[in-house]
Structures are given as structure tokens and as C-alpha cells.
Structure 1
Amino acid sequence: MKKILIVEDQEEIRELIRVTLEFDDYQIDEAPNGDEGLSKVSSFKPDLMLLDVMMPGGLNGLQVCQRVKGDPALKRTKVVLLTARGQEADKQAGIKAGADEYLIKPFSPMELMKVIGKVLR
């Protein structure tokens, strides 16, 4: 069973993602901010992080992504950044941080599942 960690500060979006993923065979954990997400990724060891870029306080998604991708113990963890920022410069910043994919909000459940399927192949 694949493990997915949802790191998103908006509870409604976390719930939408969780409900979408519950139809498939995933083990899901959640974190409401970057600091807690970084803490959970070390213990949960997900196959995939769905990571919001803009979160209040502490670490933002780009910083969390850089730390995860820089940790040899987490090198298998894939990261999909979720953000409302859709400019090319924003995408490049995400790729530079090490993201495997970049999904722009708002996204449909079908779009999310397509990206997850691609990343977890």
C-alpha cells in the first residue's frame, strides 16, 4: 500500500484531497503546516507528499521540498507541489526546489489522480 502525506494549511482542501484518495488503496496522513509536515515525513516515510507551497508561519512548501529532497533517508519520496501560483517563474522555483510535479489550484479530483498516478508509477 502506497503512503501519501498531505501538507496543506486549508482544512477544506485537505479534506477534498483525502476524500478523493480514499477511493484508492492509499495510507494517508495529514499535516496543517510545513513544520509539522517535515516532522511527519521523517516518521511516516510517505511514497508521496502533496505539499502546499504557501502556508502561514514556519516553513513554506518550497523549503519543505528542499529539505525532503536533500535528505538521503527520504530520497524515494516524491513531491507534488500544490499552489495557486501558476506563473512560469513559480513553476521553475518548484522544480529548482526538487518537486516531481507542480499542480495549480484549483484542480479537479481527476487531475489530481492523474498526477498521482504519473508520479507513483
Structure 2
Amino acid sequence: MSKNKKLDIDLLVDGLTCIDNYSNDGFVNIPTDKSALHPARYFKELFMSELIKDGVSDEDIVAELDLSDQNFEEFLNEKAMVTSLLAQRLCVVTDMPAAFWLRAQSRFDDFHTRVE
């Protein structure tokens, strides 16, 4: 469904506009000194818009992720967390490793635990 690309997520991370580390695995490390965004934000901004441009419908995305419409909406609205299973499904749809999605969720959770 997607092409394997290295991401530059500067525009999606609050704070300074630099990426601390790139890896050779096709994904970026999310810096710990910046406020973390929910993984759904990365999905919406970096992948979903491209999939829709390529003619993939919302229904196709929901089917590929094997989620109910309600669960998909909760994810997009940043009310559902990325589990191991969802991370694996996101990997299939985006070609981003499941570890990226789990790390993004962990950073989001850690940041919001510290802030609260």
C-alpha cells in the first residue's frame, strides 16, 4: 500500500526543528527533549494523506488495519493507544517498523505522565 521512505518528522514535533538521530533502518528516533505527539498524528499527517492522494479510501485503510470504524476514529482522534497488534498492522500499511509506532506511543505516554 505504501512505499518505504525515510521520514523527516520535524514539522510534527513541538520544539526545536531538528531530528537528533537518524537510523539506517528507514525510520527516525523521536527526540526525548521535545513534547511527544500521539502516533495517530504521524499516521494522519504523513501516511493517510498520501494514501488518500493515491486513491486509497478511508474504508480501505480501515479494512487494512482490521479495525472497526469506531476504533479507527478513536485512534485518529488520539483516544486509542497503539498496541503491539495495531503497531504490526500500521507497519503493513505504512512500511514503518512496528517498533516506530510502539516507541512513539511510549514517548507520548511518558511525556504526558510527566506533564500531569
Instruction: Kindly indicate whether structure 1 or structure 2 has the higher relative contact order, using CA contacts under 8 Å at least 6 residues apart.
Output: 2
Larger radius of gyration between Structure 1 and Structure 2: 2
More strand by share: 1
| TM-score for the superposition, normalised by structure 1 | 0.30
| TM-score for the superposition, normalised by structure 2 | 0.31
